[in-house]
């Protein structure tokens, strides 16, 4: 009965959204509410049967959840980029949410392009983003080894099995021969595909000492291959659309489509969460699972991250940063990148956007992942990073900011900075002072690399942006009086301890009262005198951080220019 009903249903009836609506229907029913207004009687009958099935399925699911094993299998053929790391992130989130295991597997079967250096970068960036794994090359586990290049015997066993059972065969065609074949097919208006010429080759006819590859036999008769996807429902393909693909290269290495199946099966991966670019290859993998008598896992194909041209984000599209390292180097906070990436293709039930790692784990649900590709919006990342920057612990921020300030040459003692006591006798910059500066500058930047430009006023000599206009301002008698009084009052503050934000503020207020000069007329020339610019940070704070001596010196300078 259930079988018949299932046939009648649309092919993706079991997509998660439909499951949700069935759950809704159940809720209504259990609450004793009327349900026939939203569905008709026939549908109700179908739903009731499905309910039974789903219940059983849910029990199975719960068992699966118990030992959920997820994996992240990057290939070390380049620096890891946002596309890869986002897949890792979703696996990590789901594993942590479900109390499952996350396995890191290095897919280094491409001997030409793989390198240990890139592998190290993968470890480093995962670590930076705070994604720990439970099993992997560096910490081991019960399902190792976790590097494909170290699993060659395992593949060989499975390969031998397929060969023995006649499910795979040796192909002696050279690359040139295959290229020629493709070319000919193209010219004849046919779809390029391997024609299976070696499929039924008599072993006796096999050329001696010739290089060969192993090909997997796809079904001779047309059959439907169904991929069960947690995000997209059931996706079906026809076996006709696939040719006999290579599963072992002539150098003895397994190909991706083969190794990934053997590893996922042997490592008992329960859910394969990966990018949508793998969806089209999945039917090939399903056939291998079947040929090897392995249970087929659930799949979840994530929407791709796109560049501004809406194409899959690759190595580098123009100037756009794509490598994780670039974001770290530009001074993005890992928790900001993490948060941002989580929101690419997924959203929580509520409308909160800034979320800690813990909140993300708490709220994440694979069934809320959407299906369409997401453009990597640098503007929004900037906003988010700024939000995290503003909340970050200052001591931590100081450590992170130091290299940028050093790079800009701001941390070498010189002139007034030394005199103002911003460097110790050991010529180390005053950390408390630096923290104040960073605190003032963090509001206006989207990443730490922008910090030096934001706070350059504190580290470079006074330079009037528009000297003539400034000089003109300084000639005003009222302005002169203000400057004179300010200088006298500030100079009069006995010690460095007396020179505080509070006392400066008091002096400012006092002078405003005494001279009757206030508002813009008061602040604008003062700003020019102290900073050389028409806009900038809060002046009281600035004068304080500048120090008593330097502030008075600059007032003196302005008075001279006003002559």
Partner RNA sequence: GCCCUCAUCGUCUAGGGGUCUAGGAUACCAGGUUUUCAUCCUGGCGACAGGGGUUCGAAUCCCCUUGAGGGUACCA
Residues catalogued as catalytic: 315
Q: Smallest Cα–Cα separation from 72: which of 51, 33, 101?
A: 101
Please identify, using beta-carbon distances, which residue of 341 and 411 lies nearer to RNA: 341
Among 68, 70, 75, 159, binds RNA (CB under 7 A): 75
537 binds RNA, rule: CB under 7 A: yes
Minimal distance, residue 426 CB to RNA, in Å:
34
**Strand 246-248 versus strand 271-275 pairing type:** unpaired
Minimal distance, residue 299 CB to RNA, in Å:
11
* CA 366/CA 456 separation, integer angstroms: 46
Cite the DSSP H helix spans in 330-474.
334-342, 357-363, 378-391, 394-407, 415-419, 431-441, 451-454, 467-474
In the chain, what is the straight-line distance between the N-terminal and C-terminal CA atoms, in Å? 101
Cα–Cα distances (Å) from 127 to 91, 124, 337, 477, in that order, read 15, 5, 13, 62
Please identify, using beta-carbon distances, which residue of 253 and 434 lies nearer to RNA: 253
Cα radius of gyration (the chain): 34
Contacts of 496 (CB under 8 A, 6+ apart): 421, 547, 548
* CA 127/CA 13 separation, integer angstroms: 40
263 binds RNA, rule: CB under 7 A: no
Please identify, using beta-carbon distances, which residue of 20 and 424 lies nearer to RNA: 20
Residues numbered 353 to 392 that lie near RNA (CB under 7 A) are: 353, 368, 370-375, 377, 379-380, 382-383, 390
DSSP symbol at 537: S
Please identify, using beta-carbon distances, which residue of 346 and 423 lies nearer to RNA: 346
Minimal distance, residue 51 CB to RNA, in Å:
16
Minimal distance, residue 173 CB to RNA, in Å:
6
Residues numbered 449 to 508 that lie near RNA (CB under 7 A) are: none
For 453-486, letters b (16+ CB in 10 Å) and e give: ebbebbbbebebeeeeebbebbeeeebbebbebb
> Helices 431-441 and 394-407 sit at what angle, rounded to 10 degrees?
90
Residues numbered 310 to 339 that lie near RNA (CB under 7 A) are: 310-312
Dig out the tokens for 122 from the structure. Answer: 């993968």
> Residues in contact with RNA, total (CB under 7 A)?
87
Residues numbered 404 to 433 that lie near RNA (CB under 7 A) are: none
Among 137, 331, 334, 345, binds RNA (CB under 7 A): 345
Binding span for RNA by CB under 7 A among 48-56, 302-310, 417-425, 457-465: 302-310
Q: Smallest Cα–Cα separation from 159: which of 255, 241, 295, 225?
A: 255
Longest dimension (CA), the chain: 110
For 178-198, letters b (16+ CB in 10 Å) and e give: beebeeeeeeeeeeeebebeb
Q: Smallest Cα–Cα separation from 231: which of 287, 275, 281, 296?
A: 275
Please identify, using beta-carbon distances, which residue of 423 and 522 lies nearer to RNA: 522
**Strand 374-375 versus strand 233-238 pairing type:** unpaired
Binding span for RNA by CB under 7 A among 170-178, 263-271, 391-399, 423-431: 170-178
Minimal distance, residue 63 CB to RNA, in Å:
27
Binding span for RNA by CB under 7 A among 53-61, 158-166, 169-177, 546-554: 169-177
40 binds RNA, rule: CB under 7 A: no
Cite the DSSP H helix spans in 498-562.
501-515, 519-531, 539-546, 548-561
Among 333, 451, 540, 545, binds RNA (CB under 7 A): 540
Minimal distance, residue 315 CB to RNA, in Å:
11
207 binds RNA, rule: CB under 7 A: no
Among 44, 46, 110, 170, binds RNA (CB under 7 A): 110
Binding span for RNA by CB under 7 A among 13-21, 355-363, 410-418, 424-432: 13-21
Among 124, 170, 217, 249, binds RNA (CB under 7 A): 249
Please identify, using beta-carbon distances, which residue of 411 and 504 lies nearer to RNA: 504
178 binds RNA, rule: CB under 7 A: yes
* CA 493/CA 242 separation, integer angstroms: 85
Among 117, 209, 349, 358, binds RNA (CB under 7 A): 349
Among 82, 133, 162, 235, binds RNA (CB under 7 A): 235
Binding span for RNA by CB under 7 A among 56-64, 68-76, 409-417, 457-465: 68-76
CA 242 vs. chain centroid, Å, equals 33
Among 44, 124, 170, 278, binds RNA (CB under 7 A): 278
Please identify, using beta-carbon distances, which residue of 270 and 285 lies nearer to RNA: 285
Q: Smallest Cα–Cα separation from 28: which of 44, 46, 8?
A: 44
Please identify, using beta-carbon distances, which residue of 4 and 191 lies nearer to RNA: 191
Please identify, using beta-carbon distances, which residue of 113 and 396 lies nearer to RNA: 113
77 binds RNA, rule: CB under 7 A: yes
Cα–Cα distances (Å) from 523 to 374, 465, 468, 479, 480, in that order, read 47, 17, 18, 10, 13
Contacts of 346 (CB under 8 A, 6+ apart): 90, 364, 368, 369, 370
Minimal distance, residue 320 CB to RNA, in Å:
13
Output the DSSP codes for 199-263.
Answer: TT--GGGSPTT---EEEEPPPSS--EEEEEETTTEEEEEEGGG----EEE-TTSPBPHHHHHHHH
Binding span for RNA by CB under 7 A among 159-167, 246-254, 421-429, 552-560: 246-254
Q: Smallest Cα–Cα separation from 163: which of 213, 237, 224, 111?
A: 213
Minimal distance, residue 29 CB to RNA, in Å:
15
Minimal distance, residue 82 CB to RNA, in Å:
13
Minimal distance, residue 412 CB to RNA, in Å:
27
Binding span for RNA by CB under 7 A among 162-170, 321-329, 520-528, 544-552: 520-528
x-marked contacts with RNA along 122-161 as a string, rule CB under 7 A: ----------------------------------------
Among 129, 306, 504, 555, binds RNA (CB under 7 A): 306
Q: Smallest Cα–Cα separation from 456: which of 392, 555, 327, 542?
A: 542
């Amino acid at each position: 009965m259930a079988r018949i009903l299932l046939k009648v249903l649309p092919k993706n009836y079991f997509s998660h959204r439909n499951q949700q609506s069935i759950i809704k229907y159940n809720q209504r029913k259990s609450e004793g509410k009327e349900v026939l207004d939203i569905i008709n009687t026939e549908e109700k009958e179908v739903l009731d049967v499905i309910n039974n099935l789903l219940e059983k399925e849910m029990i199975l699911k719960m068992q699966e959840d118990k030992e959920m094993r997820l994996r992240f299998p990057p290939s070390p053929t380049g620096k890891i980029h946002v596309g890869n790391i986002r897949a890792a992130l979703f696996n990590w989130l789901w594993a942590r949410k479900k109390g499952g295991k996350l396995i890191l597997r290095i897919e280094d079967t491409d001997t030409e392009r793989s390198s240990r250096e890139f592998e190290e970068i993968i470890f480093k960036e995962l670590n930076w983003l705070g994604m720990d794994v439970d099993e992997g090359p560096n910490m081991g586990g019960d399902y190792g080894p976790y590097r494909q290049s170290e699993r060659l015997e395992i593949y060989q066993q499975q390969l031998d099995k397929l060969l023995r059972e006649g499910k795979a065969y040796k192909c002696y065609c050279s690359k040139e021969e295959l290229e020629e074949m493709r070319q000919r097919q193209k010219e004849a208006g046919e779809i390029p595909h391997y024609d299976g010429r070696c499929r039924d080759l008599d072993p006796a006819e096999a050329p001696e000492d010739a290089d060969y590859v192993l090909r997997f036999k796809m079904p001779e008769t047309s059959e439907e291959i169904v991929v069960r996807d947690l995000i997209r429902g059931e996706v079906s393909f026809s076996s006709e659309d696939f040719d006999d693909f290579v599963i072992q290269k002539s150098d003895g290495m397994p190909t991706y489509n083969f190794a990934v199946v053997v590893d996922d099966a042997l490592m008992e991966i329960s859910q394969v969460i990966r990018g949508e670019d793998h969806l089209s290859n999945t039917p090939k993998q399903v056939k291998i699972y079947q040929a090897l008598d392995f249970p087929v896992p659930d799949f979840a194909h994530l929407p791709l991250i796109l560049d501004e041209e809406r194409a899959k984000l690759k190595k580098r599209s123009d100037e756009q940063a794509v490598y994780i390292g670039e974001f770290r180097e530009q001074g993005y906070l890992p928790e900001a990148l993490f948060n941002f990436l989580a929101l690419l293709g997924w959203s929580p039930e509520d409308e909160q956007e800034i979320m800690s790692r813990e909140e993300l784990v708490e709220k994440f649900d694979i069934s809320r992942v959407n299906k369409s590709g997401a453009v990597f919006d640098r503007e929004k990342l900037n906003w988010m990073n700024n939000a995290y920057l503003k909340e970050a612990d200052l001591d931590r921020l100081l450590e992170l900011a130091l290299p940028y300030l050093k790079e800009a040459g701001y941390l070498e003692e010189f002139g007034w900075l030394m005199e103002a006591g911003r460097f110790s006798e050991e010529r180390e910059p005053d950390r408390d002072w630096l923290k104040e500066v960073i605190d003032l500058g963090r509001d206006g930047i989207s990443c730490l690399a922008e910090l030096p430009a934001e706070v350059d006023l504190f580290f470079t000599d006074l330079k009037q942006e528009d000297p003539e206009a400034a000089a003109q301002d300084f000639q005003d008698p009222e302005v002169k009086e203000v400057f004179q009084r300010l200088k006298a009052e500030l100079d009069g503050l006995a010690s460095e301890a007396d020179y505080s934000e509070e006392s400066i503020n008091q002096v400012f207020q006092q002078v405003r009262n005494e001279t009757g000069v206030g508002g813009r007329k008061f602040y604008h020339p003062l700003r020019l005198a102290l900073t050389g610019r028409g806009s900038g940070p809060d002046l009281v704070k600035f004068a304080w951080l500048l120090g008593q001596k330097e502030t008075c010196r600059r007032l003196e300078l302005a008075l001279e220019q006003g002559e």
